[in-house]
A and B are shown apart, each in its own frame.
Chain A
Amino acid sequence: MWNHPYSSYLKEGMAAAWPICLGYAPLGLAFGVLAHNAGLAPWEIGLMSLFVYAGSAQFIAVSMIGSDSAVIPIILTTFTVNLRHLLMSSSLSVYLQRLGVGRLSLYAYGVTDESFALNMTRFRDGDWDWRRALALNQTANLAWIVSTIIGGYGGQFIPAGAFGIDYALPAMFICLLVFQIRGGLYVLVAVLSGLLAVAFSLLLPGNAYIVMASVTAATLGVFLRKGYGKGREGAEES
């Protein structure tokens, strides 16, 4: 019997991770298959998923390995692709005040687009804390590592496009975006960010468009709120 008080945090965090796991399964399998085709052994694939734990960067790295790229360019590309997590960790820090360096360092490992989106929503709803969030992070992490290794044995296992599983993560993101909207200003920031992201993504290679668009839109939001507050004495609050 394991009746530790931590077990309830663990259970809730793990249960909340299901949409991410659902999305990571086909992605991880697909990644494993590609990595296998690029000549990586399952243990090498698992090692990358454990050390790096970043979906899109891993996809790019494997395609570069496949074309015999040198080590340094792959590392530099990984860095730029994952810079966007700076924004997400900054945003998360508001909810992780007064945690020790050790716990924060542990938490930092599990910050992905998906865990960020899900945990931010939970934190803001108020029924969430770092223990549950950490359990969610590590559950998603485990799903990613396991599915990439299974894919590395050369099996697709989930037929491509089955049950619309490829849409699990987009649907989750759409829903979490809706949850983030708390007034007209948020709609404006989201629409602006989306349109800028599309424009930048068409103009520039790579994924710098995510950071560029969100920083621009959020900054504009702050200025607009300032102007708004002066005109209407903060009528638009939560």
Chain B
Amino acid sequence: MKTDYLLLVLGMGIVTYLPRWVPLIFLSRSRLPEWLRQWLDFIPAAVLSALILPALVTTGEPRHLTIFQPALLVSIPTLIFAWKTRSLAGTVIIGMALFWVAGRFFS
């Protein structure tokens, strides 16, 4: 089991590292065409949105739609706060506080 576990962790490490490493090495040394730069420029907004929204409106395994949950409710004032103040620290603190309060009401 011990060698098995070492092999497992090593294998997991390699397959995790490669997708992180390959684009950094290859894309950072070549001159990128304009369309690719534009495409990469949209990636952060697209990825963040794709990470957040499903986590706010789906639950369970297999996933199903759950619109009415504290996480989504709290996200609306959190988003407005972020938009108005443009403060990361403030947004994280407000988000946590609202989620805490919402949790007490919901459960």
Chain A interface (Cβ < 8 Å from any Cβ of B) = 18-19, 22, 40, 44, 47-48, 51-54, 57, 61, 65, 71, 74-76, 78-79, 82-94, 96-99, 101, 104-105, 107-109, 111, 113, 116-117, 120-121, 161-168, 170-181, 186, 189-198, 201-202, 205, 209-210, 213-215, 217-219, 221-222, 225
Name B's interface SS.
helix
Contact between chains at B50 and A47 (CB < 8 Å) = no
Are B48's CB and A177's CB within 8 A? yes
Given A166-B99, A201-B58, check contact A181 B52 (CB 8 Å): no
Interface residues of chain A: helix, strand, loop or mixed (majority): helix
Instruction: Tell me which residues across on chain B come within 8 A of A86, comparing CB atoms.
Output: 19-20, 22-23
Instruction: Tell me if A163 and B96 are in contact (CB < 8 A).
Output: yes
In the bound assembly, the distance between CA atoms of A196 and B94 in angstroms comes to: 28
A111, A164, A196: the one contacting B96 at CB < 8 Å is A164
Q: Assuming the A-B contacts A91-B44, A174-B79, A175-B88, are A194 and B52 also in contact, with contact meaning beta carbons closer than 8 angstroms in the complex? A: yes
B68 interface residue (CB < 8 Å to A): no
| Known contacts A22-B92, A167-B99: A51-B42 contact under CB 8 Å | no
A197 to B48, CA, bound (A): 11
Contact partners of B24 in chain A: CB under 8 A = 89, 92-93, 96, 104-105, 107-108, 111
| Contact A52/B13 with A71-B8, A171-B92 known, Cβ cut-off 8 Å | yes
Q: Which residues of A contact B48 (CB under 8 A)?
A: 117, 173, 176-177, 180, 190
The number of residues on chain B lying at the interface, defined by a beta carbon within 8 Å of a beta carbon of chain A, is 74
Bits for B73-96, please: 1 = Cβ < 8 Å to A, else 0: 011001100110011110110111
Within 8 A of A (CB), among B1-35: 4-13, 15-17, 19-29, 32, 35
Known: A74-B8, A167-B99, A171-B99. 16 other contacts (CB 8 A): A19-B89, A61-B12, A71-B8, A89-B19, A89-B23, A90-B43, A111-B20, A116-B47, A170-B78, A174-B82, A177-B49, A180-B44, A190-B45, A201-B58, A214-B43, A217-B50
